[in-house]
């Protein structure tokens, strides 16, 4: 055993090799040293345990060190191919961005920008103004503000407008959405005094009106991925707003997904739009940037100038403010709507609006190039807390494999990873959510796993 241990090369000896020099050039000396020491410690431990083994040579030690360094520097966040048919897949990062949004974010990231600099006066400016002019023009609102996500938008609005004051909300809207986010918890965190009205399934306008005295705000919350059916009743938003305004109470709508287009024109159920909330007389509307808007993560707050100004001046606004890249991406995304090109330029709207025959045609091309599988009718879904339970027609490539679970795992281990789903003990890949430029990579991966097919 002693001779084996003595045969282990030293770190200094290994550092003299060309392979070590290459590792240092690519990964740096500290990381290379750490990897070599870790591998050598492992070798010593193995030789002490297994006295019959021989010390590995330089090449093997350096190869292990390289594998270790590569594992350390490999990003945990990486692009994947979404073949699930879920367009706004929260676990997969929700909305992929348009090319214009990516270009705008890259431009301000690579350079200095006028984030908080007034180019006209040459003095300090405000980051809070960016994107506001586009939102004013697009939605015909008096003022707007962008923060880092919709949860913080709701928290900021309630903190600024209703801290230590009564806020009315229907019991049917006190929901928990993804990640343990609970509407009542956020409301309480703001300091607002929660006033629940109605029952779980039935809320009437009279329930709201009974609590207006002494209250400063009514909030409506989008139920996200929760849907109520059957024996239910809720008043129209316009009726709530009219009654609240008569009583001097502010109305806030947490719209969640933030759609600016009518989803019903694409053969799926109608998702409430920001324009509809504003038309109903809502004073302040909050919505997400990375859901049906199709942009980067952000929370958008639009509405009456006096209320937005109060929200903007609250100390919490600085803590939840949006960074320069998100502001650039949101502005570029909003411009697609302003120029009436969202359906063609924003990826999620291209997916939603993609004709069924084109989805089927693409799936058939996959099957032909792969020389395996069959194309079958299926269903896609919007996801991201929008339109819960609603699906719309799609077509998938169906593969018969030896073990669906093992095959899905192998797909996830590829570069890039492929995320698919199963159905009837088959692997299903939906072209609707695969970006066209990802087709070559996907087909190459499927070819490499052809031995797994039945």
Give the model confidence (pLDDT) of 384-425 as tens digits: 766 766 788 999 999 999 999 999 999 999 999 999 999 999
pLDDT confidence bin for 232, thresholds 50/70/90:
confident
Domains defined along the chain, listed by start: 2-71 (no CATH), 81-89+348-452 (3.90.1150.180), 96-345 (3.40.640.10)
Q: For 119, which DSSP code?
A: T
Angle, vertex CA 260, rays to CA 328 and CA 235, nearest 5 = 135
Strands 166-170 and 193-197: parallel
CA 37 to CA 309: how far, in whole Å?
58
Q: What is the pLDDT of residue 252?
A: 97
Residue 240 makes CB contacts below 8 A (sequence gap 6+) with 205, 208, 218, 220, 251
374: left (phi over 0), alpha (psi -120 to 50) or beta: beta
Q: Note the Cα 133 to chain centre separation in Å.
A: 25
Q: What is the pLDDT of residue 346?
A: 98
Mean pLDDT of the region 41-45: 88
Q: What is the pLDDT of residue 57?
A: 86
Helix axis angle, 150-162 relative to 305-313, nearest 10°?
A: 100
pLDDT confidence bin for 8, thresholds 50/70/90:
confident
pLDDT tens, residue by residue, 293-304 = 999 999 999 999
Residue 250 has pLDDT above 70, yes or no: yes
Residue 266 has pLDDT above 60, yes or no: yes
SS (H, E, C) 353-366: HCCHHHHHHHHHHH
Q: What is the pLDDT of residue 228?
A: 62
Residue 20 has pLDDT above 90, yes or no: yes
CA 27 to CA 95: how far, in whole Å?
33
Structure tokens at 330: 């949101």
Q: Kind and range of the H or E element at 205?
A: helix 205-211
pLDDT tens, residue by residue, 92-113 = 999 999 999 999 999 999 999 9
Q: For 236, which DSSP code?
A: -
pLDDT confidence bin for 224, thresholds 50/70/90:
low
Mean pLDDT of the region 117-137: 93
């Amino acid at each position: 055993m002693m001779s084996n241990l003595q045969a282990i090369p030293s770190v200094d000896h290994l550092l003299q090799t060309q392979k070590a020099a290459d590792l240092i050039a690519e990964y740096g000396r500290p990381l290379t040293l750490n990897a070599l020491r870790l591998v050598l410690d492992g070798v010593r431990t193995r030789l002490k345990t297994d006295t019959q083994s021989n010390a590995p040579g330089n090449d093997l030690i350096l190869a292990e060190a390289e594998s270790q360094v590569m594992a350390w520097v490999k990003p945990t966040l990486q692009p994947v191919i979404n073949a699930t048919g879920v367009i706004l897949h929260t676990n997969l990062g929700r909305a992929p961005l348009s090319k214009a949004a990516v270009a705008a974010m890259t431009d301000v990231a690579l350079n200095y920008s006028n984030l908080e600099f007034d180019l006209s006066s040459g003095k300090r400016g405000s980051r809070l103004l960016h994107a506001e002019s586009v939102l004013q023009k697009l939605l015909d609102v008096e003022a707007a503000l962008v923060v880092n996500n919709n949860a913080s938008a709701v928290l900021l609005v309630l903190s600024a407008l209703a801290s230590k004051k009564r806020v009315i909300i229907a019991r049917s809207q006190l929901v928990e959405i993804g990640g343990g986010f609970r509407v009542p918890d956020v409301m309480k965190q703001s300091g607002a005094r929660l006033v629940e009205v109605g029952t779980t399934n039935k809320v009437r306008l009279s329930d709201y009106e009974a609590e207006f005295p002494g209250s400063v705000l009514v909030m409506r919350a989008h139920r996200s991925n929760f849907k109520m059916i059957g024996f239910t009743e809720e008043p129209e938003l316009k009726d709530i707003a009219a009654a609240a305004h008569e009583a001097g109470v502010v109305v806030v709508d947490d719209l969640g997904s933030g759609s600016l287009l009518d989803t019903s024109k694409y053969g799926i159920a109608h998702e409430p739009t920001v324009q509809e909330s504003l038309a109903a007389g809502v004073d302040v509307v909050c919505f997400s940037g990375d859901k049906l808007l199709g942009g980067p993560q952000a929370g958008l707050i639009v509405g009456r100038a006096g209320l937005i100004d109060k929200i903007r001046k609250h100390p919490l606004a600085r803590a939840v403010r949006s960074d320069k890249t998100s502001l650039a991406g949101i502005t570029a995304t909003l411009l697609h709507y302003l120029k009436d090109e969202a359906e063609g330029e924003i990826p999620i709207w291209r997916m939603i609006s993609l004709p069924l025959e084109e989805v089927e045609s693409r799936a058939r091309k996959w099957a032909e190039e792969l020389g395996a599988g069959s194309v079958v009718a299926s269903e896609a879904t919007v996801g991201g807390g929008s339109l819960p339970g609603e699906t719309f027609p799609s077509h998938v490539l169906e593969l018969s494999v030896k073990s669906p679970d093992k095959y899905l795992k192998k797909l996830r281990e590829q570069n890039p990873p492929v995320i698919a789903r199963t159905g009837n003990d088959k692997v299903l890949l939906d072209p609707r959510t695969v970006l066209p430029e990802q087709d070559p990579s996907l087909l190459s991966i499927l070819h490499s796993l052809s031995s797994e097919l039945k």
